[in-house]
Chains A and B, each alone.
Chain A
Amino acid sequence: MTLPSFVGRRRAPDPLHGGAAREAAPAVPVGKISWRTRAKADRSLLIMVLPAVTLLVVFAYVAMLGNVIAWENYSPYTGFLHSPFVAWANFARVFSNPLFLDAVRNTLSITAFQLVFFFPIPIVLALLLNSVMSPHIRTVIQSVVYLPHFFSWVLVVTLFQQMLGGAGLVSQTLRHNGYAGFDLMTNPHAFLVLITMQSVWKDAGWGIIIFLAALGTVSPELYEAAAVDGANRWRRIWHITLPALRPVILLLLILRLGDSLTVGFEQLILQRGAVGPGVSEVIDTYVYYQGVVNGDWGYSAAAGLVKGVVSLALVLGANKVAHLFGEAGVYQKA
């Protein structure tokens, strides 16, 4: 998830929109245009934004206010306003609950595992694909590897079950040839491997898109000059391609770190039953089960809020680190 870097960016004032009026001390006095006039001038733009803002206000901001139940002993019958206030009791329970800490541990180990075994794959794939000369072949491969990104997690997990499950194709073939079959889908010890394989299958192809775009910006003359100077294929990759990818790699890495607490919720909740919560319970699934399933609303809201706040801090911190590395980061200060 990356967003454009417009926060704080100064744009040229647009005289048609009274933009000049906001400049602190215009060299040519424009005359102060009242906000009423400007709002009226931009009336249609404001009307256009209204539906989206309304939806966001209701389903993001009003919902955000619902987090007050983290400080309440909330019950749906008494409601937000009349449930007893319990101060930080829910948070205290969150941090002292071994199940929550297990969920945190699972979340972090999944993130770490995927950072090592998932993250590099799109880079390698992009390099491979970039070296394919024929644009037709390249387009075909690209279309094929992007495709699983658009499949639902239900479908992906079901496909894996059909291939690698106990009655899956691989087991079936093994048994047919006199070997013992296996069931990867219900084995808690192999769960990390399984979900990483699923993530790779679904999203590694899509992951190359950003690297290919970065590779596309490298001037071919650099390669030519290097080749003329006697740099072989590998040296060209090392000295031209990889440095060109460096900002993107670094940015994505930092973003992923900032997003450490979020791992595939839908993917995991689909398989929680098969492998058990011991290995598959992550923070998000924990919040769901404690809240919606067990009805411990205030407590689960507190757990969710802790995750949200820590995630926010991580993302902002990650962005700061990106700046330290001299990269653009997700957003920029002016």
Chain B
Amino acid sequence: MSGQVPEISLDAAVQPVEITPTRAGSQTGAPVRRRRRSKYRPVWEEEPTRLGASGKAVILTCVVLVVVFPLYTVLLTSVSTTAETTRAGGLVTVPGELTLNAYTQILSGGVVTRAVLVSVGITAVGTLLSIVVSVLAAYGLSRPGSFGHRPILFIFLITMFFGAGLIPTYLLVSSLGLIDSYWALILPGAVSAFNVLILRNFFMGIEPAVIDAARLDGAGDWRILAKIVMPMSRAAVAVVALFYGVGYWNAFFNAILYINDNAKWPLQLILRSYVLQGVNLGGGTGSVDVVHGAVTGLPLQMAVMVLAVVPILLVYPFVQRHFTKGVIFGAVKG
């Protein structure tokens, strides 16, 4: 106690007064244990019943487990040895002998490595193109009363209600000579009217006085977009970029349609053929060198699955916090 300043907790001052602080009630000597009241619970709200609270906890834990557990087993199996999967009779749930062989094997050149590069390339180029084009369009449509913005807006809107359909789109892409071209995986879906509208709405929410002030100071629309609107809209742009990026990364059907050459397959198609449909990754085309691999079969397949998720897991935490900031809902409610 020597010379220590007694700590005053700010929390304590704010905290709701316990309604039943009568610990004196326990006159028998043994103090009655009370459950700690959550500091987030408003004063007026009753404590949940023990059954209710534990029921809720169980349900929510199950929900989280249902999402996390499959990912965990897949990840664990991908870093397990083949011996371990044989012992488990399939997927590994309890960590045993670990190895990164599956990854070194599929990433040391061959089908999977190439597919990863293809997917990364398409996602990077596609996302960049989409976000630039969409931000420009969104800003171009966000100035109230600008010339022709209403008919142009309709051009975007109509595409949300009526798509061209699969067959005409396919025939168009093929008559443009884009079959077996990576551009076929990028251009047809490069602009999503919905994403443009999300951005446009966000831009329109920016205080007009700020923009007018910049305009009076002599800034043109390009400068306003670059120096004022963009810095103020990082969250919305990040979310929309995530939407686009995830779309490019996850797409597999457009590759089925437009890419006949196996060597140009993106990762999702590899995942479908070698894992879902169980074509043997190790054999056949000799694309994956099995000679130096102590790992075959399941761990390899699971490693491909992990590769398909990793980019999403890498980007997700940075963007996820913006979801709750009402970026999406703000747009939705107009």
Contacts and interface: CB of A to CB of B under 8 A. Distances in A.
- Same assembly: yes
B329 A292 contact: no
A3 B334 contact: yes
A61 B154 CA distance: 12
A154 B73 CA distance: 17
A142 B153 CA distance: 34
Nearest to A131: B56
Given A42-B146, A69-B168, A162 B161 contact: no
Q: Secondary structure at chain B's binding surface: helix, strand, loop or mixed?
A: helix
B155 A22 contact: no
Q: Secondary structure at chain A's binding surface: helix, strand, loop or mixed?
A: helix
Interface in B209-255: 212, 215, 220-222, 225, 242, 246, 249-253
B264 to A, nearest CB: 17
Interface stretch (A13-21, A91-99, A188-196): A13-21
Interface stretch (B1-9, B36-44, B286-294): B36-44
Interface string B298-334: 0000100100110010001100100110101101111
A289 to B, nearest CB: 11
A126 to B, nearest CB: 12
A52 B146 CA distance: 17
Size range of the interface on A? 35 or more
Given A176-B89, A297-B167, A3 B253 contact: no
B100 interface: no
Contacts of A242: none
Contacts of A55: 133, 187, 190-191
A210 interface: yes
Contacts of B271: 152, 154-155, 158
Given A168-B90, A169-B73, A155 B40 contact: no
B133 A287 contact: no
Size range of the interface on B? 35 or more
Interface string A130-144: 011111000101111
Interface of A: 1-7, 11-14, 16-19, 22, 35, 38-39, 41-42, 44-49, 51-53, 55-67, 69, 76, 125, 128-129, 131-135, 139, 141-148, 150-155, 157-159, 161-163, 167-169, 172, 175-176, 201, 205, 209-210, 212-213, 220, 223-224, 227-228, 232-233, 265-266, 269-270, 273, 284, 287-288, 291-292, 297, 300-301, 304-305, 307-308, 311-312, 315-316, 331
Interface of B: 38, 40-42, 44-46, 48, 52, 56, 59-60, 63-64, 66-68, 70-71, 73-74, 88-91, 93, 132-134, 136-137, 139-141, 143-149, 152-153, 155-172, 174, 187-191, 193-194, 196-197, 201, 212, 215, 220-222, 225, 242, 246, 249-253, 257, 268-269, 271-272, 275-277, 302, 305, 308-309, 312, 316-317, 320, 323-324, 326, 328-329, 331-334
